Chain A
């Protein structure tokens, strides 16, 4: 087996007890990458020399004083390419950022670094995080390690695949409408969407600023709790970051679910859930009930409008957020255009893929005078309704559970021709972004040998509850050590 099969806690113990070194961990990660990533396509670029140099520094430090280190010390991780990394090209999987080398790092990257985590490289995603299948990357196709003819889910596909295929111990992704939880579900890993403002967005290349959150993807719930604890908390560079103290997420794990009231939103189960997914969901609900949770049917009546509100608000913000991609201060240039109008159009036409163009145009439209009230303003009001739904429900229950997605991973190309079908992939995840609440996807079982995630939604800043419930499901399902066959194939090769 690979060292990367271990949980982070196990890796940290091994490092402390000198069973293996950080260099060995990092090398094991790159072995997996070398073996698998040619086909899986999770990494856009790796930073091998830097990573190994850092790992040997960690090893020297550990030799001097092995105790008192955080659990991320010397652990190989990787970042979605929407997170700026100082001195390392950051493209958001878009041509328009080809060659962009940020002079600064995202706050989350700095926090991971300050804990001693070692960055292996940058991970593929949908262009500017817009997509549900990772098919919108300008550079490469990322494949699901459980079935390489299927999508890994998006937009943080590379982040989910890297963890699932044991190429990194943990990764960071970003979630605007489900972009962490969905690929986590499709790839059989844990993914957390923190409450809006719980994690700094500084250095996260913005998709939709009022919805975006950075979060971890890991093999285990405890690993996610560890990583979220490292990156969460107020950041003076992000005025929207929450000033509330960060809860002790790891303490929540193992508390069990006895006495918890767990809501099951009837509207979510009416969303055309695939039978195999439904079976996994029902099983998970039974496990929770068996452990002493009380299942309560709840209603989130505004759910039917949430998708429409999301596909107005997010594109509106996109149209503005991506205006800075004009080729002037960064980007591949103007291709010899002789006047500014042509220059902008050249840079942006060459630079943006189809989905990005579609959303920019849509966003430009809904913000135009004459349409603002009918679309943008109304979507903001629906956003209020969605948030009020959750507020009311969380006065009745401690958390809400649902499948993360109506289906397991679908086939590559299956939904590409139909944007609306693609958008519907996020039906169960995006309401949490509109409301700004906490959520997690935890592997709960399989449907036709494909992983299926359970989504746990908690109140605003209720991450601890999500971890508590997810940990119970993880314990009952007992599948986190089961990697995809591709990972197993690598194992045989070792």
Chain B
């Protein structure tokens, strides 16, 4: 039920970099899963509101106060590449 191009598009959107072989395997598995979750169509959801969160909380906010964060060194500690305090990434094209 998935076209190869569709799975390739999803892989691109999610930046997964899948190989053709991986895409083909995924295509079959996704088809099975999506068929199974198609069960949702049978549920009596006509007049039902969607639930995005449980717990019933509203208006949880913090006061506008500055709190100390990380130093530059701490912020960069896990970056694979940085120079002059900036994180280095390959060029945007």
Report if A and B touch in the complex (beta carbons < 8 A).
yes
Residues of A that sit less than 8 Å from B by CB: 99-101, 103, 195-197, 210, 236, 239-240, 242-243, 302, 304-305, 307-309, 311-312, 319, 323, 326-334, 337-346, 348-349, 352, 357-358, 360-362, 364-365, 368, 374-375, 377-385, 387, 419-420, 423, 434-436, 460
Q: Is the beta-carbon distance between B51 and A242 smaller than 8 angstroms?
A: no
Q: A333-B80, A340-B93 are in contact. Are A378 and B14 (CB under 8 A)?
A: no
A44 to B13 CA separation, bound complex (whole angstroms): 32
Q: Which of chain A's residues have a CB closer than 8 A to the CB of B17?
A: 342, 344-346, 348-349
Q: A380-B52, A384-B50, A387-B51 are in contact. Are A332 and B80 (CB under 8 A)?
A: yes
Given A311-B37, A341-B93, verify A348-B51 contact (CB < 8 Å): no
Query: Could you tell me if A420 and B14 are in contact, using CB atoms closer than 8 angstroms?
Result: no
Known: A349-B16, A364-B14, A381-B45. A330 touches B57 (CB 8 A): no
Q: Are A375 and B15 in contact (CB under 8 A)?
A: no
Name the contact of A330 in the complex, choosing from B11, B79, B92 (C-beta under 8 A): B79
What are 12 A-B interface contacts by the 8 Å CB criterion?
A: A308-B39, A308-B40, A309-B37, A329-B87, A330-B78, A331-B78, A340-B93, A348-B16, A357-B22, A358-B30, A383-B51, A384-B48
**With A348-B16, A349-B18, A381-B45 already in contact, 7 other A-B pairs whose C-beta atoms are closer than 8 Å:** A210-B52, A210-B54, A242-B55, A323-B14, A327-B80, A344-B15, A360-B16
- Interface residue B68 (Cβ < 8 Å from any Cβ of A): no
Given contacts A103-B74, A348-B17, contact A308 B37 (CB under 8 A): yes
Interface centre among B15, B30, B49, B79 (most CB of A within 10 A): B15
What residues of A have a CB within 8 angstroms of the CB of B37 in the complex?
Answer: 308-309, 311-312, 375, 379
In the complex, are the beta carbons of A308 and B51 less than 8 A apart? no
> A330–B37 Cα gap in the complex (Å)?
34
| Complex CA distance for A345 and B18, rounded to whole angstroms | 8
A420 / chain B contacts, CB cutoff of 8 Å: 32-33, 36
- How far apart are A125's CB and chain B's nearest CB, in angstroms? 21
Quick check: A103 and B36 within 8 Å, CB to CB?
A: no
Given A378-B40, A385-B44, A419-B29, A345 and B50 contact (CB-CB distance below 8 Å): no
Do A334 and B54 have beta carbons less than 8 Å apart? Answer: no
User: Would you call B33 and A338 a contact (CB within 8 A)?
Assistant: no
The count of A-to-B residue pairs whose CB atoms sit within 8 angstroms is: 178
> 10 shortest A-B CB distances, which residue pairs?
A345-B17, A436-B54, A380-B50, A333-B80, A349-B17, A330-B78, A381-B45, A344-B15, A239-B60, A308-B37
Q: Residue of A at shortest CB range from B59? A: A239
Interface pair B55/A196, CB less than 8 Å apart: yes
Instruction: Assess the A334–B80 pair: CB atoms within 8 A.
Output: yes
Give CA–CA (A380, B44) in the complex, Å: 12
Residues of A within 8 A of B33 (CB): 311, 358, 362, 419-420, 423
By a CB distance below 8 angstroms, the chain B residues around A309 are 37, 40
Q: How many residues of B contact A (CB 8 A)?
A: 51
Tell me whether A385 and B78 are in contact in the complex, defined as CB-CB below 8 angstroms, given that A308-B37, A343-B90, A364-B13 are known contacts.
Answer: no
Which residue in chain B gives the minimum CB-CB distance to A424? B36
Report chain B residues within 8 Å CB of A243.
57
Residue B89 CB within 8 A of the other chain: yes
Interchain CB contact (< 8 A) of B30 among A319, A344, A362, A381: A362
A360-B45 contact in complex given A196-B55, A239-B60, A331-B80, C-beta closer than 8 Å: no
Instruction: Say which residue of B36, B50, B57, B93 sits within 8 Å of A240 (CB atoms).
Output: B57
A436–B55 Cα distance when bound, in Å, is 7
Of all chain A residues, the one with the shortest Cβ separation from B35 is: A420
* Chain B minimum-CB-distance residue to A435: B54
Decide yes or no: A210 and B53 within 8 Å by CB, A308-B39, A361-B26 being known contacts. Answer: yes
Cα A489 to Cα B10 in complex, Å, equals: 50
CB-nearest residue of chain A relative to B48? A381
Contacting pair B49 A382 (CB below 8 A): no
What is the bound-complex CA distance between A101 and B74, given in angstroms?
10
Complex contact A377–B29 (CB within 8 A): no
Structural contact, B79 and A385, CB atoms closer than 8 A: no
* A103 CB contact (under 8 Å) in B13, B41, B70: B70
How far, in angstroms, from A385 to B38 measured CA to CA in the complex?
Answer: 17
**B74-87 near A? 1/0 per residue, CB < 8 Å:** 10011111000001
CB of A107, distance to nearest CB on chain B (Å): 15
Taking a contact as CB atoms under 8 Å apart, the answer to whether A381 and B43 are in contact is yes
Q: Is the CB of A378 within 8 A of B79?
A: no
User: How many angstroms between the C-alpha atoms of A330 and B61 in the bound complex?
Assistant: 29
